Structures are given as structure tokens and as C-alpha cells.
Structure 1
Amino acid sequence: MFHVRKRVLAGGLAVVAAAGAYVGLTGGSTPAVAEQGARTPVVIGHRGASGLRPEHTLSAYKVAISQGADYIEPDVVATKDRILVARHDNWLADTTDVENHPQFADRKKTKTIDGVSRTDWFSEDFTLAEIRTLRTEERIPALRPNNAVFNGIDTIPTVEEVIKLARANNVGVYPETKHPTYFDGIGLSMEEPLLALLKKYGLDDRNDKVFIQSFETANLRDLRPKTKLRLIQLIDGAGAPYDFVKNNDPRTYSDLVKPTGLKFIASYADGIGANTSRIVPVDASGNLGTPTTLIRDAHRLKLDVHTWTIRGENQQLPADFRQGNSSAPGYERAIGDVNGWLAKLYRLGVDGVFCDDPSTGVSARTEVFGS
């Protein structure tokens, strides 16, 4: 058992100092935390509380806030009339009832987004007034049937509404502009209007409760001289940033987690948002391997390390933390030991976690850090 002590610095920043190294997670020490202690990690409501309500709805964001999330995360896409709205992607069929609106039948199109052809309805072909006539739906009802009972209740929120909700409840906002190269290419760049919206609500300083994130690099590099807000480079478990692909840059996300890649990121960003597999790899059966040095390497460059996504269902957890009889009906959607998985990540030294059920991030943090 380890012990923690917490001191509060000016401005209310809680810092946790570890007494001795954390040992025994994988048979060895965990240098990321053992070196010099770590700040109490933040809990980010992933798309709101998307494990409990349809994602990117005001209902989901309100539940996340009620559960104690420090930040709520709106993914950002644009409408035809340049209004920023909260959707994970610019296609709409998997999270709304758009297919049930015959007046929009002719809006169904085939487009290439980030190099992939998709036939769907797209946000940029709708005005805000039109998109407001749609109702939201659960994206993965087979895994989350309880969420589907909330289908048809919410409309798609604007990003401004999400920011206002966060400000009213004294929580942070963690927006991600989606498919930035694509939106730039159709004349609907989202970064500049996002900065303007944030500034409208007094959010334009490094110490404000804002992180701006992206899987691409070019938009973050473009943002760096324009804002003091903290920027986070997202790192997927495979593949490459689409701006690299489009510009024939051979680097991949695997290159970006190497020391030279992290130095490149540190030139424009304040942290990384890494797929959990970049921190603790898993084998083909979902079993955890030995933690990587990513947290240590990033911290040495003063980069925060946030990780995604912590989901409670057995299907979404490493095999080490699944619970129940794998042959039983409903095993995949049964809730496993998500707190145990979170506790492991906390003890490895992450600075933040994206949770579909933020209450688990809060309760595991209390277990590990006492706060």
C-alpha cells in the first residue's frame, strides 16, 4: 500500500506527493509517479456521460457534471451556416433520427472524409435550424440498451450551449475539432470560431479550465501562436494523423510517441491524449502487457498525459478487469472492474482520464489519492 499527502498551492492546485515508488503493478516500479509525485488527475466526461445517456447531448453533459467530472468534452463539427455543434463526427445517421425525416432525403450523399468514403447525411449540409429538428439517439444500442430509452428526447446542442453549461457549473470544457483538414477544405474552419466562442465566455488564458484537442497536428500548430489555452495532441492506437497522410508525411502515431516525436509535440502542445494501449499494451486476447515508458518520457518534456477511453462494459475493458461468466447472456455489456482499471492507470501516473461514466473516474481517484 502506498501513501499520499496532498498540499494546495496558490490558485487551488492540488498536488499529490507519493511516499516512495509505486511497486507491484507489473512486477516493477512505475517511474512516472515515482520520480516526483503527480498532480491529482482530472476526470473528463467523455462526450458527457455517454455510458448513461446518448452522447453529446445536454442530458449527457448534465449527468457528467452531477457525477463530479472536472471537464466535459464536446466534439465539434460545423453546420452549413457556420454554427459549431456537438457531434462526434459530421455524419448524422448513427446518432440521430435523420433517416426518419423525409424532407431531408435528398441530403443523403456520398463523401470522402479523411480518405474514407461514406454515404450519410452530413452536418455541413444542414443549417442550425434544420439540424435542430433532428432528435438524438444512442450510437451503440446493442451494447447500451439502457441508453436507447432516451432516444428522441434531446436535440443536438451548439458548442456555445455546452460552454455556457460548463461555465454555469464551474467545470472545464475540453473541445475537439473533428476532421479539421476536411472542414478547412470546404471553407468551414472551426478553430477560429471556437477560439472566439471561448473568449466570449472569458476563456482565453492558460490557467482557464480549457483544453483543445485534435488527432491532427497542423491545426494545433496553427493554433499555438493564436491562443494561450492548453493544447492536447491526441495519439491513437494505430495509424497516423490525417494531415500527415494528406501531405505524404511518413510519420505515424507510433513515431509521435518516441522521444523525438514527443519533442516535436512539445513544440506546440501542452500534453498528449493517448489511447490506453499506448500506456499499457494489450495482446490479441485483450490481456495487459508491461507498461511503456510513455508517461515518463512525456513528463520529462513537461507534457501532461491524458488517456482514453475508460468504458465500463466488459467488451470495452482489458481482459484482466472483465468480470462474470464469459458464456453468460449479456456478458459483453455487463459492467466489469472499471475502478480497478482506472486505479491502475492512476498509479501509473496519468494526469487525466476520459470516462464514459465519470463517477467511476471520481470514485477510483478517491480510492487512490484520497480526493
Structure 2
Amino acid sequence: MFGVVAPVAAFAQDGAVEGPAMSYGQRPAYLVEKLEDGELKSTLEACLGNGPERTDFSIGHRGAPLMFPEHTVQSNRAASRQGAGILECDVTFTKDKELVCRHAQNDLHTTTNIVATDLGEKCTQPFQPASGDSEASAECRTSDLTLAEFRSLQPKMDAANASAETAEDYLGGVAPFRTTLYSDGAELMTHAESIELFRSLGGKFTPELKAPSVEMPFDGFTQEDYAQKLVDEYAAADVPPEDVWPQSFNLSDVKYWIENTEYGDQAVYLDDRYEAEDDDEGLIDPTDPATFKPTMQELADMGVNYIAPPIWMLLTLNDAGEMVPSAYAEEANAAGLDIIAWSLERSGPLAEGGGWYFKSVSDAIDSDGDYLRVLDVLAQDVGIAGMFSDWPATVTFYANCMDL
């Protein structure tokens, strides 16, 4: 189970790597002020003067992309300063089969400046301007580029301007609740570089093996080669298995790590069965255990110890309109699975119910303070082991205050 670990100063005393000085910043206090009066608000208000401690309960989702370009050095430094004990590199590969940190193999057109560079011509689909009823579009993959070419790109906030008539205009479109204030000079990372950075920050590791956009095998590179290369880079860096939580939406990847590597005990099954395409299987209904295929117990019997669904799958509303654990959460707990939830603070302001991540409890959500109410139910009633967040300071503050 994840939990609060020693303060940064203790790392130095024990001879381990010392992380950066930590700060909650303004956001946790802002969210506490937004809470309705009650026991939760009183408890959290009493902690506002406390200093932060790093906690493994707080997981940086792509770093701290609410304000920094995701999967960059700067985004992860920000997450570490906010007390995230575990940091994420979403892993994909280049044309020369080198592992790099990107949320998807085919997101370079929205997360970098590629369409406005000469490398844009190498994209699977080069930039096409908006015309008539057609929106501007592009598709640029890491597998379109060598590692050297990838390194030449400038990362930016994940966005695109669908009405753009030029490649330069296409680089815009950032959501109003995000910012470009901290984008200048952001640095891309390889997976191996992320390992060294996270270690220097005093953090642990949760790499996600992203689904390839190319057909596998890719130039002889099989899915098993891909899964093995990810863990090989931790072994080469002498990172112990207990510090790594490798993730995948592909259950076969998780089973591969369990059956073939030393990094399988903490392998995380990212559950996306809510969008299953197999008509025989159907969609998973978090309120109906009969739809859980495989069942939670069958997952546990495979050796899966961690399961990670989106927030909405773990919560439902009772007859009184209160947020409570879903049948999905109860079944996972009954099978002894540790649960990790994703992703807090990705939805922007919650005045209109919070969108997709909160869709099962949207009727109970109407202000930003509800980020903390949701987190409280997940921590205290569902019993999650960790929480991904686009702004880890909020989760760190809550975890420290509640002494999880």
C-alpha cells in the first residue's frame, strides 16, 4: 500500500537522494475555501499551516500538466516540488525503437511544435488547414521520427486549434483553465532520462506502456520486446522492483511482466473495459458485477495486485444523493486488489459537474471544492492506494492532513 514517506530532510540523513524543497502553493487552500462548511472543511483548514511531506499516495499524472507541458523535465520537477512520491513516464517508441515519454505514440502534433517545423512533412498525416466544414488536422507519431529528430522538437501544452489555417496557428487552442506561462524552454525526455530525473528528485516510478499506433511487430519489434525493454531500462539503472509500478491498459502486457520479469508484483492493470469493442463482452457496468469479465477475483488469480480505473467507475450516488463506493470498488476490495484512481484535476472548473471523470456522480458536484470531497470518499470509503493528479499538491496536502 502506498503511504506517506519520510520528509525530504530524512532522505539526506539516510544517505539517499534528496529531493527538491516542497511547497503546496495556493491551490489546496483555494479548494478548501470552496468547500461547504462541515467536518471535512474544518479538518482540512486545520492543516493549512502544516508543511508538506512527500507521499507515495500522490502520483504525478504526466508530471503537473495543469500548468506545465506534460512529460517534460519541468512538469515533473513541479510535481516533485508538490510532494508527489511517484512520477509517471508514459512510454512509447521512436522509428529507431528508442523509448521516450509521450502520452500517446501519435500525439506529437498536439504536444510539440512539429507541424510548424520541417519534420512536419515526415508525419503520418502532415498538417491540413481548416477548410469549409473540415477542421484543421494532423497526425504525427514518435515512430515517424528517429530519436535524434524527436529531441529537436519543442514541447508545448497539449492542444490544437481546430480552426487553424496555418501550421503556426494550429499550435494554439490551449484550454482556458490551463496556461502557456511555463511552456518556454520545456524539455522532452527519453524513458531512460526520466528514470535518472525521477531518482534525482527522490521519486519512485510508474511508467505506462502505451498502445502502439503502428502495427506490431514494428520492424521486428514485438509487443513482448516492447514490454521487456521498458523493465530492462529499470534493471539497467539498478532500480529495485519495489520502486516501480509498470502500467498498461493491455492485460497481456501486465501478465507478461508478472510471468516473465521481476517487476510484475506491482504491475498495474489500467482498466478501460468501459470502452470494450467486443460485442460478446459488452461494456463493463461499474454498478453490476455480472459485467466484470474477467472478474476481480480472476484478475487476482492471474497475479494482478493493482487495478486502476477512472474516478467515475469507483463512485456512485446512493438514494440520498451522497457519493459512495460503486459495486466495482467493492468487488475489487473483496478480491484484495489495490486500487489506484485517475485523474484528479484534469477536468478544469467543476461548476458544471466535472465532465467525463466525474460522470457517475455529476449530480453531486457543483464547485471546485468537490475535488476534495471526491478525494475524501475515494480515500476513506473506497480505500484507494494512490491518486493520479494533474496538480499533485492537492493530493499531497490531503494525504498529509489525513495521515494516510
Alignment TM-score, normalising by the size of structure 1? 0.74
Task: Please point out which of 325, 345, 355 is paired with 2:378.
Answer: 345
**Cα separation, 1, equivalents of 2:275 and 2:119:** 38
Contact 1:220-1:268 at 8 Å conserved across structures: no
Corresponding residue of 1:322: 366
1:293 aligns with 2:324: no
Which residue type is aligned with residue 352 of structure 1?
Answer: G
Corresponding residue of 2:36: none
Which residue type is aligned with residue 155 of structure 1?
Answer: E
Residue 260 of structure 1, CA deviation: 5.0
**Cα separation, 2, equivalents of 1:223 and 1:56:** 24
**Cα separation, 2, equivalents of 1:191 and 1:256:** 31
Deviations 1:87-124 (A, max 9, x none): 001111011110011243143439xxxxxxx9511101
Q: Give the secondary structure class of the aligned counterpart of 1:314.
A: coil
Q: Give the secondary structure class of the aligned counterpart of 2:158.
A: coil
Contact 1:321-1:340 at 8 Å conserved across structures: no
Where do residues 47-66 of structure 1 align in structure 2 (5 Å cutoff)?
47-66=62-81
Task: Please point out which of 304, 322, 333 is paired with 1:269.
Answer: 304
Corresponding residue of 2:91: 76
Judging by fraction of residues, say which structure has more strand: 1
**Cα separation, 1, equivalents of 2:116 and 2:280:** 42
**Cα separation, 1, equivalents of 2:109 and 2:387:** 28
Corresponding residue of 1:102: 118
Corresponding residue of 1:114: none
Q: Give the secondary structure class of the aligned counterpart of 1:70.
A: strand
Q: CA RMSD in A?
A: 3.2
Which residue type is aligned with residue 81 of structure 1?
Answer: D
Q: Give the secondary structure class of the aligned counterpart of 1:211.
A: coil
Contact 1:42-1:70 at 8 Å conserved across structures: yes
Q: Give the secondary structure class of the aligned counterpart of 1:308.
A: strand
Deviations 1:117-161 (A, max 9, x none): x95111011011101111111114542565323335223210111
**Cα separation, 1, equivalents of 2:233 and 2:324:** 42
Task: Please point out which of 197, 204, 211 is paired with 2:245.
Answer: 211
Alignment TM-score, normalising by the size of structure 2? 0.68
Task: Please point out which of 235, 238, 250 is paired with 2:271.
Answer: 235
Task: Please point out which of 232, 240, 250 is paired with 2:281.
Answer: 250
Task: Please point out which of 144, 151, 154 is paired with 1:135.
Answer: 154
Residue 58 of structure 1, CA deviation: 0.8
Corresponding residue of 2:182: 150
Residue 169 of structure 1, CA deviation: 2.4
Count the aligned residue pairs.
Answer: 308
Corresponding residue of 2:233: 197
Q: Identity, % of aligned pairs? A: 24
Corresponding residue of 2:165: none
Name which of structure 1's ranges 274-283 and 210-219 shifts more when overlaid on structure 2: 274-283
* Cα distance change on mapping 1:249 and 1:258 into 2, 3 Å: closer
Corresponding residue of 1:177: 209
Task: Please point out which of 85, 102, 107 is paired with 1:87.
Answer: 102
Residue 256 of structure 1, CA deviation: 9.3
Gap regions ≥5 residues in structure 2:
7-38, 41-54, 127-136, 160-172
Q: Which gives a bigger RCO, structure 1 or 2 (Cα 8 Å, sep 6+)? A: 2
Q: Give the secondary structure class of the aligned counterpart of 1:93.
A: helix
Which residue type is aligned with residue 217 of structure 1?
Answer: L
Residue 42 of structure 1, CA deviation: 1.3
Residue 191 of structure 1, CA deviation: 1.1
Contact 2:158-2:174 at 8 Å conserved across structures: no
1:358 aligns with 2:392: yes
Deviations 1:229-250 (A, max 9, x none): 211111137212x7xx5xx873
Deviations 1:19-64 (A, max 9, x none): xxxxx99xxxxxxxxxxxxxx9711100001112111111111111
* Cα distance change on mapping 1:49 and 1:7 into 2, 3 Å: closer
Contact 1:49-1:64 at 8 Å conserved across structures: yes
Where do residues 330-341 of structure 1 align in structure 2 (5 Å cutoff)?
335-341=368-374
